[in-house]
Amino acid sequence: MTPLVEVAQAAKEYWLGKVRVPALKGVDLVVKRGEFLAIAGPSGSGKTTLLNLIGCIEMPTSGTVRIDQVDIATRSSDELAVIRAVKLGFIFQNFNLLPVLTALENVEYPLATRDISSRERRRHAQEALASVGLATFERHKPLELSGGQRQRVAIARAIVTQPLIILADEPTANLDHKTGQDILALMKSINQQRGTTFIFSTHDQKVMQMANRIVMLSDGQLARAA
Amino acid sequence: MITLRLAIRNVFRHRTRSVITLAAIAFGCTAIIFVGGFFEDILYRMQESYIKAHTGHLQIYTRGFFDKGSARPFSYLIDHPDDIIALVKKVPGVVSVARRLQFSGLLSTGENTVSCFGQGVEPDYEPSVRLTDRSAAGRNVALLGGAIIESGEPLNANEPYHIILGRGLAKGIDAKPGDGLILVSHTIAGSINAIDATVAGIFYTTSKAFDDYAVRLPLGTTQQLLQTESVQSLVVMLRRTSDTDRVKLTLRELFVQRHLSLEVKAWQELNDEYGKSKAFLWRMFLILKAVVATIVILSIYNTMNMAVVERTSEIGTIMALGTTRQGVWQLFLLEGATLGLIGGCLGIAIGTAITLLIRHVGIPMPPPPGASMSWISEPVIVPSVLVFSFVLSLITSLISSFFPAYQASRLSVADALRHA
Ligand SMILES: Nc1ncnc2c1ncn2[C@@H]1O[C@H](COP(=O)(O)OP(=O)(O)OP(=O)(O)O)[C@@H](O)[C@H]1O
Ligand SMILES: [Mg+2]
């Protein structure tokens, strides 16, 4: 089976004025369909940067990133937007729900450009929200939900498009320990039931242990594969 | 659909800020609607008062009079006006056709003699109003009714030797109603003639220059003084001023068909002041529109710019979720358009309400240039100005959201997401 994600010698540099900041220094990573992969590493090690490359949000300075066999460097920003909309789902540390929309509308948002009836859109969103256990919170605005509930809404928003890969950058960092583990357990059950590939970053040892595989980043390089 | 919902809700996210922006738009629209209605009213009064007191809607002369008549007025007389009057009266929209004969002469009290401009008119067709006679048409009758009789009586068809004097002229020779005067003029053959006349009343119009020289007297008496059966001009009054151009064309065609050597002039051509005032007022209005547009553009720009800065991480989020740059651009344009739409609607409602209120109260106005009477303006609602102010608020809101929306769509997704 061909790998879903192939990162080969990927490097990423930023410029702070005239100072070169190497965030990633030649990373090789292959992720197969159905994996539940953790990226661990200290702050500033490049976790977010690596996830952004895989998420087609940033381009590598050198090296290649292939998502479902597509070299992302060869695609325009609109084509990348389509890849993100169709193949990828995102979960963020700060939940990043749109505050003016209700929970249901937030989950519906990624379907906005899909060529399906609004009723069908609504039904998909309701199903996704129900599958994270928030069927009764459809009309709540994000500010009326707890952190854990917000992250569940974000998970529903990520799965509603049935993506191949869900990328989660420190999904539990803003949650207490218990809630964080519940969120991870929810992600894991989605991974097992639907076969969706998950790649998430974390500092948290306990959270890390729930992964099938952990890769360690340190100073922009993969330290070892466990 | 969700984009529209998002745009509308984002507009109402910052109540105070949106209310202030909407107030700026609505205020701008109100200014335009009010000033447009005010200027329209000024021009309308100017137009109507001049038509009633001076020119009528149309004037008919022997061909050549308009260009050369001032040097040789009696070379361009209309000899048999009755057939022409009958012809003109048949044209739909025509209310009356009055004959006029004008001359320059001398007016003497015995002690004082001054030169004057005589106008022989048909009293029944030349409107005049007594200043005391306000009940008929409300407080602004003075402005629309034609010559205003300040003291004494108007002309009377049954009193051939009763004349009325312009206010300035009467003052110059110290004449009052009831005084006897001698009116002297050349006959059209060139000899001198005079009549004894009694001052029936003193009048004034919107034109001070006219009031300083004018004497009005019955046409028959004028013909007797000038020793002629002819008249100089036919003054046509119409039911509606808006019919002027149509009737003018009809008359022209009619005269050509009948081989009549006549020319027709409309009130705009006879009233140079009106055209200039109109150009002047519309120029000022244009400046106001430009000022309003600038204020609206700046205030919406400010609002939209703040929205883009504040919502940077949201923009990053929706782009990560697959919204294209164009989609982001559309979202912010839509937000701007929503502001413009709501602001425009509010502006029309508030502008109309305020204009109608001011119309009800009335604005006391000083005399217009060259005139001697103060008056009360009652601004009107001009439909085209309503449409204009609405379109203006929509277009300016789109223009001013254009750049912030563009900036939003150009954000780097990664940077936007890292934005706290
Ligand atoms: N836009 C940027 N401009 C300059 N330097 C950047 C930029 N983004 C990231 N960096 C730098 O790149 C390096 C990697 O950052 P990254 O955010 O990937 O680390 P991280 O592992 O996610 O850290 P944390 O655990 O704190 O989130 C850091 O040194 C960071 O300062
Ligand atoms: Mg990070």
Q: What is the pLDDT of residues B351-382, one digit of tens each?
A: 999 999 999 998 888 876 666 667 788 999 99
Contact A112 B418 (CB under 8 A): no
C-alpha to C-alpha distance for A103 and A113, rounded to whole angstroms? 18
- How do the domains of chain B map onto residue ranges? 2-47+275-418, 64-260
Terminal alpha carbon distance of chain A: 22
Residue B414's closest chain A neighbor by CA?
Answer: A57
Q: Judge contact between B120 and B102, C-beta under 8 A.
A: yes
Least Cα separation, residue B344 to chain A (angstroms): 24
Give the position, in ligand 1's atom list, of the atom nearest the Cα of A51. 18
- Assign residue A80 a region: left if phi > 0, alpha if psi is -120 to 50, beta otherwise? alpha
pLDDT band at B133 (very low <50, low <70, confident <90, very high): low
3-state secondary structure A94-116: CCCCCCCCCHHHHHHHHHCCCCC
CA distance B307 to B329: 13
pLDDT at position A92? 96
State the pLDDT confidence band at B123, using cuts at 50, 70 and 90. Answer: confident
pLDDT above 60 (res B334) = yes
pLDDT given at position A27: 94
Query: Cβ of A131 under 8 Å from any chain B Cβ?
Result: no
Contact B146, B57 (CB under 8 A): no
Report the nearest-CA residue for atom 24 of ligand 1. A43
Q: What is the per-residue pLDDT for B264?
A: 94
Cα B341 from Cα B343, distance rounded (Å) = 5
Mean of per-residue pLDDT scores for chain A: 93
Question: What's the CA-to-centroid distance between A52 and ligand 2, angstroms?
Answer: 10
Ligand 2 centre from A22 Cα, in Å?
Answer: 15
Closest residue in B to A79 (Cα) is B324
Tens digits of per-residue pLDDT, A114-123?
Answer: 888 989 999 9
The two beta strands, B192-204 and B147-152, are: antiparallel
Query: How many whole angstroms separate alpha carbon A123 and alpha carbon B135?
Result: 71
Rg (CA), chain A: 17
Q: Determine the length of chain B.
A: 420
Inter-residue contact B26 to B352 (CB < 8 Å):
no
Closest-approaching ligand to the CA atom of A169: 2
pLDDT at B135: 41
Q: How far apart (Å, rounded) are the C-alpha atoms in residues B168 and B182? A: 18
Nearest CA to ligand 1 atom 26: A43
The pLDDT value recorded for residue A2 is 81
Sorted by sequence, the CB contacts under 8 Å of residue A117 that are 6+ apart come out as none
Over residues B171-196, the mean pLDDT reads 91
User: Rounded distance, CA A179 to CA A201, Å?
Assistant: 17
pLDDT at B413 over 50: yes
Given the DSSP bridges, would you call strands A5-16 and A62-67 parallel, antiparallel or unpaired? Answer: antiparallel
Does residue B86 contact residue B234 with C-beta atoms inside 8 Å?
no
CA-CA distances (angstroms) from residue B67 to A48, B64, B104, B116?
88, 6, 18, 22
Interval B30-75: pLDDT, tens = 999 999 999 999 888 888 888 888 889 999 999 888 888 777 778 8
Q: What is the pTM for the complete model shown?
A: 0.82
pLDDT of residue B217: 93
Distance CA B278, CA B283 (A): 8
Asked which of A138-142, A169-173, B43-47, B405-409 is least confident by mean pLDDT, the reply is: B43-47
CA atoms of B167 and B152, how far apart (whole Å): 12
The pLDDT-based confidence of B136 (bands split at 50, 70, 90) is very low
A219 alpha carbon, closest ligand: 1
pLDDT (tens digit, 9 = 90+) per residue, A44-92?
999 999 999 999 999 999 999 999 999 999 999 999 999 999 999 999 9
Question: If you take atom 7 of ligand 1, which residue's CA is the nearest one?
Answer: A14
Look at B188 and A7; give whichever has higher pLDDT. Answer: A7
B162-166 and B192-204 beta bridge pairing: parallel
Write out the H or E segment, with its range, that includes residue B266: strand B262-266
Over residues B279-296, the pLDDT tens digits come to 999 999 999 999 999 999
Q: A115 — contact with chain B (CB < 8 Å)?
A: no
Q: Is it the case that residue B139 has pLDDT exceeding 70?
A: no
Across the interface, do B320 and A77 touch by the CB < 8 Å criterion?
no
The one-letter amino acid at B299: S
Residue B204's pLDDT is 85
Which residues from chain B sit within 8 angstroms of residue A96, using beta carbons? 313-314, 317, 417
Does B157 or B389 have the greater pLDDT score? B389
The residue written with tokens 């005239």 in the block is: A18
Band the pLDDT of B138: cuts 50, 70, 90: very low
pLDDT reported for residue B134: 47
**Ligand 2 centre and the CA of A43: distance in Å?**
7
Contact B104, B117 (CB under 8 A): yes
What pLDDT is stored for residue B131 in this prediction? 60
From B1, B314, B414, residue closest to A98, measured CB to CB: B314
Name the band, by pLDDT with cuts 50, 70 and 90, for residue B271: confident
By mean pLDDT, which of A161-165, B146-150, B365-369 is the weakest?
A: B365-369
Closest-CA distance, B313 to chain A, in angstroms, reads 8
For residue A169, give both structure tokens: 């950058």
DSSP symbols for chain A: ---SEEEEEEEEEEEETTEEEEEEEEEEEEE-TT-EEEEE--TTSSHHHHHHHHTTSS--SEEEEEETTEEGGGS-HHHHHHHHHHHEEEE-TT----TTS-HHHHHHGGGTTSSS-HHHHHHHHHHHHHHTT-GGGTT--GGGS-HHHHHHHHHHHHHTT--SEEEEESTTTTS-HHHHHHHHHHHHHHHHHH--EEEEEES-HHHHTTSSEEEEEETTEEEEE-
Q: What is the mean pLDDT of chain B?
A: 89
Alpha carbon nearest to ligand 1 atom 30, residue: A44
Residue B231's pLDDT is 93
Distance CA B60, CA B315 (A): 72
Q: Do A77 and B322 touch (CB under 8 A)?
A: no
Helix (H, G, I), strand (E, B) or coil at B196: strand
- Tell me the β-bridge partners of A222: A217
Among A24, A27, A43, A49, residue to substitute to test ligand 1 (most atoms within 8 Å of Cβ): A49
Is 90 exceeded by the pLDDT of residue A156?
yes
What is the distance between the alpha carbons of residues B53 and B273, in angstroms, rounded to a whole number? 14
CA atoms of A50 and A61, how far apart (whole Å): 12
To the nearest whole percent, how much of chain B has pLDDT over 90?
Answer: 65
For A96-114, what is each residue's pLDDT tens digit? 999 999 999 999 999 988 8
Query: Which sequence spans correspond to the domains of chain A?
Result: 33-57+87-225
User: Is residue A68 packed enough to be buried (19+ CB in 10 Å), middle (13-18) or exposed (0-12)?
Assistant: middle
Q: Is B318 in contact with A109 (Cβ distance < 8 A)?
A: yes
User: Mean per-residue pLDDT for B329-341?
Assistant: 94
pLDDT-based confidence at B140, cuts 50/70/90? low
- pLDDT at residue B390 above 50? yes
Residue-level pLDDT at A33: 94
**What does B169-187 look like in DSSP terms, one character per residue?**
HHHHHT--TT-EEEEEEE-
Q: What is the pLDDT of residues A14-45, one digit of tens each?
A: 999 899 999 999 999 999 999 999 999 999 99
Residues B151, B154, B160, B163, CA torsion sign = positive
User: Regarding the domain delimited by A33-57+87-225, which CATH topology (the fold level of the hierarchy) does it fall under?
Assistant: Rossmann fold (3.40.50)
- Phi and psi, residue A112, nearest 5°: -55, -40
Q: How far is the CA of A47 from the centre of ligand 2 (A)?
A: 6
If you measure from the C-alpha of residue A57 to the centroid of ligand 2, how many angstroms do you get, rounded to a whole number?
Answer: 14
